[in-house]
Amino acid sequence: MSSSDSKPASPAQGYAGDVTPEQAAAWVAAGEAVMVDVRSDAEREWVGFVPGAVGLAWKQWPGMALNPVFDEGLRAAVPQGKKAVLLCRSGVRSIAAAKRATELGVEAYNILEGFEGDADEHGHRGAKGGWRLRGLPWKQN
- For residue 98, what are the contacts with CB-CB under 8 A and spacing of at least 6? 12, 14, 15, 16, 84, 86, 108, 109, 110
- Strand, coil or helix: 112: coil
List the chain pLDDT tens, one digit each, 141 residues: 344 445 668 878 999 999 999 999 999 999 999 999 999 998 999 999 999 999 999 998 778 889 999 999 999 999 999 999 999 998 889 999 999 999 999 999 999 999 988 878 887 777 778 898 888 999 988
Domains (ranges, CATH) in the chain? 16-111 (3.40.250.10)
Residue type, 35: M
Burial of 8 (0-12, 13-18, 19+ CB in 10 A): exposed
Asked if residue 138 lies in contact with residue 48, where contact means CB atoms within 8 angstroms, the answer is yes
- Measured in whole angstroms, the distance separating CA 52 from the mean position of its chain's CA atoms is 12
Beta bridge pairs of residue 111:
19
- pTM metric for this prediction: 0.88
